[in-house]
Amino acid sequence: MIKLNDIINHESNKPKIGFWKCWSISVGVMIGSGVFLLPSVLAPFGSISFLGWIVTGSAAILISLILGRLSSRTNRSGGFYVYTQDAFGDLPGFLIAWGYWLAIVFSITAISTAFVGYLGVIIPQIGSSSLIQAITASALIWLFAAINIHSINSGAKTQLITVILKLTPLIIIILLGFNSGTVNNIPSFNPQDKSIFGAIATTALLTMWAFIGLEAGTVAAADIINPKKTIPKAILAGTITVTFVYILATASVMMLVPIEILQHSEAPFLDAAKSMGRFGSILIASGVLISTAGSVNGNILLSGQMPMALALDSLAPKILAKKNRGGSPSVSIIFSCIVSTFLLILNYQDGLIEAFIFLISMSTLCTLLPYAISAMAEIKESKKYSNLWVFLSLLAIIYICMAIFGSGVKVLIWGLVLILAGLPLYYLNKKFI
């Protein structure tokens, strides 16, 4: 059946996103605020945490390869939704799209609160009031909403610029660590004397959160130049880039900051940059702000794609499929940002930062489930001709299931409830659209 999503006949809809912009979308969404705290989180586990990074990085690369294979079979926008719908039908596709859209909305809200939290360190007046925090976070959301509404290319260009800027301080810390740091600061292999398997599994689960977003480059397929070739290369390159940056940055911070300080540090990269004086502090603080802002931009860019893909297939109101002259799904972006702002308003009275962990956990779960379903879709396709890809997809599913259950019972239950909440919406769409 020919879907409206496959038909692109307007000048504004011509693909404008090439390899580097596609690469930057994945890298920019992956590198948010989490990496700037991970060295402290991992320090108590010792240098065995590097094995956790390697396991997680390998799993992330495997997932990117699977998503690359799936993306090479279609030109349609929607990423997880398209892969699930093609393999299992409209209802599973809709629920995965609904869940992933929720993940994006949660991410926009959570990361904007993280941005405000870091900004409050520099401008204390912002941190003095939850209302001011909420207003500032809302302003950030609508700033990047305006950029992405202007055109799909504006959002992609902004993403490329922020990625370059956020990588700069990380690379400087890496160079500083390997030049001025000492391996004597690196913690012992397994200071907690846990089982080797248990320690690696724990650190692997902790580091998994840092790779959420690797799929981002697949979502806007219809706007990507030669998507069947560009997307697989871009998301694989993006995942490899991030893996090396994460491992090297963690090693550098550990070499620069003694373990007794690092394991209690709330700002490990700032501690690592102390030898650079005030310049180092400003550099890292700016890097964190740019990193979180770039992640907000990337998620807003994605936020319009999923509702648009559903609307083009008559699974959501058709107005959500509307594109402006810049090729941007402006109505879908506005709708998504309204929901994100509403979440901010709901939570500001209790303090925005308090909601951050829960929102991020929900976002992560609502992304991990589509990873698993996409791997199942690859199994369904590859079982006809490739036992190797069936095996690799099964490995990915095992790892993803570990990460899902590692998120905790509360998050798991709430995540499933929210995803299943899409059921009445699906049947309402079927009845009235």
Please give the structure tokens belonging to residue 215.
Answer: 């799929």
The label of the residue with tokens 């799929």 reads 215
Average pLDDT over residues 306-312: 91
Residue 8 lies in a domain: no
| Reported confidence tier of residue 410, pLDDT bands at 50, 70, 90 | confident
**pLDDT score of 12 more than 70:** no
Residue 389 resides in a domain? yes
Q: What is the pLDDT of residues 120-151, one digit of tens each?
A: 777 878 767 778 888 899 999 999 999 999 99
Q: Does residue 95 sit within a domain? A: yes
Helix (H, G, I), strand (E, B) or coil at 3: coil
What does the pLDDT look like over 369-390, one tens digit per residue? 889 999 999 999 898 888 899 9
Can you name the residues that pair with 17 across neighbouring β-strands?
224
> Is residue 89 pLDDT above 80, yes or no?
yes
In this structure, of 235-239, 305-309, 361-365, the range with the lowest mean pLDDT score is 361-365
User: Which pLDDT belongs to residue 356?
Assistant: 57
pLDDT tens-digit profile of 224-236? 999 999 999 999 9
pLDDT band at 433 (very low <50, low <70, confident <90, very high): low
Confidence class for position 198, pLDDT limits 50, 70, 90? confident
Most confident of 99-113, 276-290, 331-345: 331-345
Q: How far is CA 53 from CA 61, 93, 211, 251, in A?
A: 12, 31, 10, 11
Question: For position 361, what pLDDT does the model report?
Answer: 67
Amino acid at 341: T
Strand partners, 224: 17
Q: At residue 352, does pLDDT exceed 50?
A: no
Q: How far apart are CA 394 and CA 392, in angstroms?
A: 5
Quick one: DSSP state of residue 314? T
Compute, in degrees rounded to 10, the torsion defined by CA atoms 62, 303, 165, 31.
-40
Compute the average pLDDT of residues 97-105: 90
CA gap 37, 42 in Å, rounded: 9
Query: Would residue 296 count as lying in a domain?
Result: yes
Among candidates 409, 404, 412, 402, which has minimal Cα distance to 52? Answer: 402
Its domain, for residue 296, covers 17-432
In a domain, 405, yes or no: yes
Q: Which two tokens stand for residue 174?
A: 């890496």
One-letter identity of residue 213:
G
Residue 12 lies in a domain: no
CATH number at residue 21: 1.20.1740.10
Integer Cα distance of 328 and 10 in angstroms: 12
Q: 93 with 85: CB under 8 angstroms?
A: yes
Structural domain total, the chain: 1
Does this model's pTM top 0.95?
no
Burial degree of 20 (CB within 10 A; 0-12, 13-18, 19+): middle
State the CB neighbour count (10 A cutoff) for residue 130: 17
Residue 242 lies in a domain: yes
**What is the reported pLDDT for 375?**
93
Looking at the domain assignment, is residue 7 inside a domain?
Answer: no
pLDDT of residue 103: 86
**What residue type is assigned to position 48 of the chain?**
I
Task: Tell me the per-residue pLDDT of 105-122, one tens digit each, with 9 for 90 and over.
Answer: 988 988 888 788 778 777
Confidence at residue 285, expressed as pLDDT on a 0 to 100 scale: 81
SS3 224: strand
For 25-80, write each residue's pLDDT tens digit.
999 999 887 777 788 888 888 888 899 899 889 999 999 999 999 999 888 888 89
